[in-house]
Structure 1
């Protein structure tokens, strides 16, 4: 029996029922029981250590071959990187007049921050695989996006969001990126020959640690934001506007990646890779980067657009991956 056109598929239902609830529960917990005072100081120091561990794990998990491979398909990788770090930020800038009419200036800064983030790795590769796209190219493009993002995202933040990084000078922000993100990542790459096999063997347990790190940073960030009056500044109508903005931006960027792939003569498999790698933004990279780049009292507001966009992109890409996967049956 053919599935109704707009009925969510099983993958979408799993994403809605699992991943979304965990982050929603964290935001709800932070809203009701925010950490304050000395507890907040302890948690803040703990999140700094967890962020360093997170990027150490990213470095150790990423094979040396994935970092340097894929150069022969440079047109595809360049297309993905241009959409991630050029067209997406340009879209955020061009939409500024309309966005400021719908949301507050603080939330607009969060939208711009979302626009300059690298692509996701795991979900981009997973959706490409489900859609029967070019998986090796997706591995290379998504990995390159995150590696380059360590350098490019802070640079774009300094260019586009200079006014929002109050409390962090450009030099201070660069130093924070170096010792909190880059050095742990490099250390992970150096340690991979000795611990890579162990990490592959225990990847399920390490994935839980990876997700727990992100959830902890989200909790601390939203606790600070709640104490500063987040929900007084973001009424329900503005949340609905944010969701609508995320839907429009995702639709525009996915349409552009699809159109550009076909105009450039890519195969259907390569088109799938460009669409899924070039249109997605990483919560795993965005949360720790926001913690490093922004003043603590602004992090919760900055992360709110990213969290909404992240959930929406998972649901939409799950549906699209299934549509791509059955393309031969429908033709």
Structure 2
């Protein structure tokens, strides 16, 4: 069957995200209301990282942790290749965009990989799901420490703003690391409930992000974000995000060949090594930057996040079709007495005449079930 070009469907969360930015632009929180939203956002971030810690499955990590070469390649892509691409992009962009937006571009390249979408796209593309769980979880776990360190090293040294000493370290420790650790330590007690109710808890994840985005953009709007960010800036951000994503994806595809990774592991490197986490990035920006700067800093991340979802969805569907095409054909059981006798003769297996009706009936039944499993018939 010939398949045409498929346009990835839009994640409803992206629509909610855009609506939240619009709401903050039209009705920003001010004064005491803004202060209340700040407290609520801090609590939401703590809850978010607590749930991430509780959802981190040790069994899944142990299942894929032995593939150390793959995990090192993913971490190198996330914390070495991406920052280099970010520094080059910011250098080339020069004075084309606002310096704080340039800081946001660099900041997004210092973040950990995503978890849910990386695993989902790996599964869709017929990749090594156990290794994807391990790589994405390890990336996020290390990111709680590595991202603030990289922000302090690369952004302060380059004059892009960012973390400010012990205050940021304290915020990261108390608002992110402590809840994450507590959630993971409590997993033996609450892990089964978390795993059974992922569909119920997902809105908690997303509503927390929306709350933080609204709070951040409200502060940014009050401080004149849309007076300093115009359509040309958004276009430059889109081009910069496209350049970074193309560079990283291209290198990861090449690295998979250079290191001789099997196809299933190459898929993991491609998706886990090419993603940046909005879920981790927005709270980290809130901890590492001044409140008035957060909305501007996370704007490049939001653009990059939408771009990576569209492109990765398209690539996952393409890789799945390629994997299905390369899969060996499944031989169907013979149908009817003539086919059964011919197949038996080719295999050198005689079928006694008195057994033929029963053998043929069983083979017909097996063939019917096989067609149902392959999607070629009705159950």
TM-score (ref. length: structure 2) = 0.83
From 260, 265, 285, the equivalent of 2:255 is 260
Equivalent position to 1:13, from 5, 9, 13 = 9
Aligned to 1:326: 321
SS of the residue 2:226 aligns to: helix
Unaligned runs of 5+ residues in structure 1 are none
1:138-149 to structure 2, matched below 5 A, reads 138-149=132-143
- Quote the RMSD (CA, aligned, Å): 1.4
Counterpart of 1:113 in structure 2 is 107
**Distance in 2, Cα, partners of 1:88 & 1:240:** 21
Q: Which has the higher contact order (CA 8 A, sep 6+)?
A: 1
Asked if 2 retains the 8 angstrom alpha-carbon contact of 1:64 and 1:189, the reply is no
Q: 1:14 & 1:265 partners in 2: Cα distance?
A: 34
Are the equivalent residues in 1 in contact too, given 2:108–2:300 (CA < 8 A)?
yes
Q: Are 1:223 and 2:214 matched, yes or no?
A: no
Q: What does residue 97 of structure 2 align with?
A: 103
SS of residue in 2 equivalent to 1:56: helix
Residues 231-240 or 96-105, more deviating: 96-105
2:150 alignment partner in structure 1:
156
Q: 1:3 to 1:237 in 2, by over 3 A?
A: farther
Specify which structure has the higher proportion of helix.
1
Q: How many residues align?
A: 324
- 8 Å Cα contact 2:126-2:323 kept in structure 1: no
- The answer to whether 1:132 aligns with 2:126 is yes
- The CA distance in 2 between the partners of 1:141 and 1:247, in whole Å, is 24
Structure 2: any 5+ residue segments left out of the alignment?
327-379
* 1:56-95 alignment runs, 5 A limit: 56-95=50-89
Q: Is the 8 A contact 2:53 2:179 kept in 1?
A: yes
Deviates more, 1:37-46 or 1:199-208: 199-208
Q: CA deviation at 1:67?
A: 4.5
How far apart in 1 are the matches of 2:44 and 2:160? 24
Q: What's the TM-score, normalizing by structure 1?
A: 0.94
Aligned to 1:269: 264
Deviation at 1:202, TM superposition (A): 1.8
- Structure 2 counterpart SS, 1:311: helix
Aligned residue for 1:326, secondary structure, equals helix
d(CA) in 2 for partners of 1:314, 1:183:
30
State which structure, 1 or 2, has the greater radius of gyration over its C-alpha atoms: 2
